[in-house]
Copies of this chain bind each other. A is one copy, B any other.
Amino acid sequence: MMAENKLPARNEDFSEWYNQLVLRAELADYAPVRGCMVVRPYGWALWENIQAALDGRFKATGHVNAAFPLFIPMSFLEKEKDHVEGFSPELAVVTIGGGEKLEEPLVVRPTSETIIGYMYSKWIKSYRDLPVLINQWGSVVRWEMRTRLFLRTLEFYWQEGHTAHADAEEAKEEMFRILDIYYNFAVNEAAVPVFKGTKSESERFAGAQITTSIEGMMQDKKALQSATSHYFGTNFAKAFEIEFLNKDNKLQLAETTSWGLSTRMIGAIIMTHGDDQGLVLPPRLAPIQAVVVPIFKNDAEKSKVMEVADRVFKELKAAGIRIKMDDRDNVSSGFKFNDWEMRGVPVRVEIGPKDVEKNSVALARRDRPGREGKSFVQQTDLSTTVAGLLVEIQDALLKRATEFRDANIHDAKTYDELKEVVKDGWAFSYWCESRECEAKVKEDTKATTRNIPFDQPSEEGTCIVCGKPSKRKVYFAKAY
């Protein structure tokens, strides 16, 4: 790659590295409307793989998909006090339809609790109608002022699940079940290690009684909230009259949950695995898992090499590997190598005239650039070799990211130590769970509480800020 085409180094300008990588790997582009993005085919193919992995998990646990409207009457948002407070500063409002001023302005959905609550109150009459377990894939709009591709855009793509249950226990189980799905997806598909836990009161979703999240550490050591799962109690059921006749034939309010994972997850993947050459994709989600690059200098070489390359391509494809042939004749092999490295393709299969003679190919793994990641293997049983290598890469990415994360979490014991630690890492410390102590940390360090992980030490401690007794530790970190 020519010098002017190099990405900024991560350790010099992480933010600019990220922005350029997104554009250069052709994952997304800026739309003409401020803060909006275009997800390009390569980025969307990644999102489709994320969707498939999650959708299968949702369906396996009894969820079904549906579609609710984009437009919500403004009055709906006002029915739940916390909800309207949380979202009203961020709304896009339609005031004109078909050339006429509308009597009631319509909000472009920032999230769909209200409109789905309204429909649930029509559909749910008896305990026999419960639980209702609906998910929706789509986009929502929040008028954000500072935007970044995938991380925070005016319109973003996500899934939002909305469920209604006969009792609180079942609703909470649902919230945790979904959080487990997100965790399992992040770790096993995206190779992004995350912590499951509860958000603090001040970081809760607008209208929720409990918000849980998964939180990952990016390579700049900032935290990224990667998905959330909420328990609403009867807040939305009260606001929208979601009532049912229970087994004793008495009217009862439903208990509801909602949960979402967005295209932000693509940002998490980029910032967890990417390197100075570009994107590094986990094989299980990569739109292209392996690329075949035939190498030749003249027509005689070409015909020999292409014969093997075509055969290898077919064999890998037949084995279910998502494979691409790069037989472009207007760019050099070096250009191709850089190109596919920028796009994060996990394995490159190089085939040159020497390989034809030796019945071999060169395999280059994306997660270990240069000589270290290169191996020369027999063509025989190549699909088994490549499939095995893909598993190895998937595991190696998770291992590397987990080690990096764990090495950058510090068990801060004093407030001074905490202040030092969160400059370039996370602190894992006892906290009294008061808003005051949380606000002080934020004020002093810009670090916020990420979540109170379910996984806690057995002993109790004292709040790192005020010294009062504390039952649980929390992660403090600067966050996206």
A contact set with B: CB distance below 8 Å: 29, 31-33, 36-41, 43-45, 47-48, 64-73, 76, 88-99, 105-106, 108, 115, 118-119, 122-123, 128, 134, 138-139, 141, 143, 145, 154-155, 157, 330
Contact = CB atoms under 8 A, between A and B. Distances in A.
B65 A38 contact: no
Given A67-B157, A93-B96, A94-B108, 15 more contacts: A31-B68, A31-B69, A33-B71, A38-B67, A38-B68, A41-B64, A44-B66, A70-B70, A90-B98, A91-B97, A92-B106, A93-B97, A95-B96, A97-B154, A99-B143
Nearest to A108: B94
Contact of A143 (B29, B97, B118): B97
Copies in the complex: 2
A242 to B, nearest CB: 14
A38 B136 CA distance: 11
Contact of A66 (B39, B64, B69): B39
A94 B119 CA distance: 25
Contacts of A32: 73, 76, 115, 118
A92 B88 CA distance: 20
Contacts of A108: 70, 94, 108
Contacts of A76: 32
A97 B92 contact: yes
B69 A155 contact: yes
Contacts of A36: 69-71
Nearest to A144: B98
A70 B97 CA distance: 16
B106 A98 contact: no
A293 to B, nearest CB: 18
20 contacts: A31-B68, A31-B71, A31-B119, A32-B118, A36-B70, A38-B67, A38-B68, A38-B119, A39-B67, A45-B64, A45-B65, A47-B67, A67-B139, A69-B155, A93-B96, A95-B95, A95-B96, A96-B105, A99-B143, A128-B330
A41 B133 CA distance: 10
A65 B44 contact: yes
Looking at A40, A70, A88, A115, which has the most chain B CB atoms within 10 Å of its CB? A70
A32 B37 CA distance: 29
B143 A98 contact: yes
Contacts of A66: 38-41, 43-44
A113 to B, nearest CB: 14
Contacts of A106: 33, 92
A66 B98 CA distance: 28
A98 B89 contact: yes
Contacts of A73: 32-33
Nearest to A157: B67
B157 A122 contact: no
A41 B93 contact: no
A155 B134 CA distance: 20
10 pairs of A and B residues whose beta carbons are closest in the complex: A98-B143, A41-B64, A93-B96, A39-B67, A36-B69, A31-B69, A97-B143, A95-B95, A41-B66, A44-B66
A98 B99 CA distance: 23
Nearest to A104: B33
A65 B41 contact: yes
Contacts of A37: 69
Contact of A70 (B89, B155, B330): B155
